[in-house]
Amino acid sequence: MLARTLLIAAVFVIFTNLSQAADSRPNIVIIFADDLGYGDLSCYGHPTIKTPHLDRMADEGVRFTQFYVAASVCTPSRAGLMTGRYPIRSGMCSDKRRVLFPNSGGGMPESEVTLPEALKKQGYATACVGKWHLGHLPQFLPTSHGFDSYFGIPYSNDMDRVNGAPKGRDSFWDPKVEYWNVPLFKDQTVIEQPAVQTTITKRYGEQAVKFIEDNKEKPFFLYLPHNLPHVPLFRSKEFAGHSERGLYGDVIEEIDNTVGQVLNTLRKHDLDENTFVFFTSDNGPWLPFKTHGGSAGLLREGKGTTWEGGMREPGIGWWPGTIPAGQITTELASTLDLYSTCLLMAGAELPADRVVDGVDIRPALMGTGPSPRDSLIYYRGEQIYAVRQGPWKAHFITQGAYSGPGRVEHDTPELYHLLHDPSEKYNVAADHPEVIKQLRKLTQEHKKTVKPVVNQLEIPMGE
């Protein structure tokens, strides 16, 4: 009897190993923070915020120093990640309303081929745990765009402010859960309102771990976009007073803890060598919120702007055994590229009937060659404010974030050499007219590929 049991067990082990070997497609995990700046992690130089799990992730993988998002505010940035396309192509950016609001009637169009939708077609189990912000009406929710399940607050945690809460920014300095009536969804149903934000980061971590454990036998895609450190800042009682950086540091350190929980779960179930994990943030720090906002480190400005601080983010890739440990790369990459790269890793083809702006950055991740990306378009709303190619960045239009300097159109764009001058301090336009000519040409070529579509951010509720 014992011999027979052992035999069955041995056959089972062999079969399981064979089936895993036959399926070389990795699991994919994308962890996204909200409004976390380039300078907010210890592995990116923050002097008092401690992020041991992200630091270990970087030590065991690759850390990008020139990683970008598709826009400097939430909704268009996330649209870029989910589609691999500049948000202008899906109608998910606007000059009038910069993001979706609880009274918005639009969202990610059904015609877009989202990352989860394409991975699901490849047989992946898919889950979104966290902030969506691509439409909160049923037809736009994650479960309508390729995710098998959803758990999270569907938009920013400062929306739905209740009457009677302190006015303006006063409600943020000592935030209370009851000031914001934001809903917490499970799939398409509101299960809590207001969402208890003090425990939201912790619960997102628990949900992420549960999804991995429930799906460890098949390929899975976990998208974990935290609502924090977007203001108002909340953390669980275990993290109160955790950080020398104060409340903002507590919040980052709790997010870091969830990264540790995810990576440790993968290690525990021997999934680490078959899982690609990427960590980044949707846009730069919200600087007008002072110590409740983060830091872009040495980069200029923050959220809402097309200066580097608005759109360059930490970017950490991890896949033990495939991504060599301890790399720091200056190769250019974008969240747009995560779309293309993840689809190709999963054995899918990129949609051929539309422009996909993302490129395959596996050479940069694996350290086997350069990134194919050499340029970036910096949109603010629907307008191109700046363009980068190689080390050069031209600003055709400049503008501060919210209360900062107004909009200025430049006849001769401002020009910065981002390798020599990452802080964008020294305008060298006068010395390089040929570079400006080339960047203008690149901009015109890009514009020719953009077709008019319905603007989703300007559709009111009820239409």
Euclidean distance between CA atoms 331 and 333, whole angstroms = 6
> Between helices 335-345 and 74-83, what is the axis angle to 10°?
30
Of 228 and 364, which has the nearer Cβ to Mg ion? 228
CA-based angle 69:72:95, to the nearest 5? Answer: 130
What's the min distance (Å) between Cβ of 36 and Mg ion?
Answer: 9
- For residue 141, how many other CB atoms are within 10 A of its CB? 22
Euclidean distance between CA atoms 263 and 275, whole angstroms = 10
What's the min distance (Å) between Cβ of 35 and Mg ion?
Answer: 4
What's the min distance (Å) between Cβ of 281 and Mg ion?
Answer: 7
Of 35 and 60, which has the nearer Cβ to Mg ion? 35
Whether the upstream peptide bond of residue 320 has omega within 30° of 0, thus cis, is no
Which residue has 């991890």 as its token pair? 318
Q: Which of 97, 69, 37, 55 is nearest to 335 (CA)?
A: 69
What's the min distance (Å) between Cβ of 352 and Mg ion?
Answer: 32
Of 74 and 251, which has the nearer Cβ to Mg ion? 74
Q: Which of 57, 44, 66 is nearest to 326 (CA)?
A: 57
Q: DSSP states of 61-72 as a string?
A: SEEEEEEE-S-S
Which residues make up the interface to Mg ion (CB under 5 A)? 34-35, 74, 282-283
Which residue has 């690759």 as its token pair? 62
Euclidean distance between CA atoms 136 and 185, whole angstroms = 10
Q: Which amino acid is at 447?
A: K
Of 74 and 263, which has the nearer Cβ to Mg ion? 74
What's the min distance (Å) between Cβ of 34 and Mg ion?
Answer: 4
Number of residues assigned to the chain? 463
What's the min distance (Å) between Cβ of 142 and Mg ion?
Answer: 17
Catalytic site positions: 74, 133
Which residue has 């190689």 as its token pair? 390
What's the min distance (Å) between Cβ of 256 and Mg ion?
Answer: 18
The residue of the chain with the least Cβ separation from Mg ion equals: 74
Of 35 and 357, which has the nearer Cβ to Mg ion? 35
Of 124 and 234, which has the nearer Cβ to Mg ion? 234
Q: Is the dihedral of CA 294, 133, 105, 94 positive or negative?
A: positive
Euclidean distance between CA atoms 457 and 88, whole angstroms = 11
DSSP H or E segment with residue 338: helix 335-345
**For residue 144, what are the contacts with CB-CB under 8 A and spacing of at least 6?**
110, 138
Of 112 and 313, which has the nearer Cβ to Mg ion? 313
Euclidean distance between CA atoms 102 and 156, whole angstroms = 9
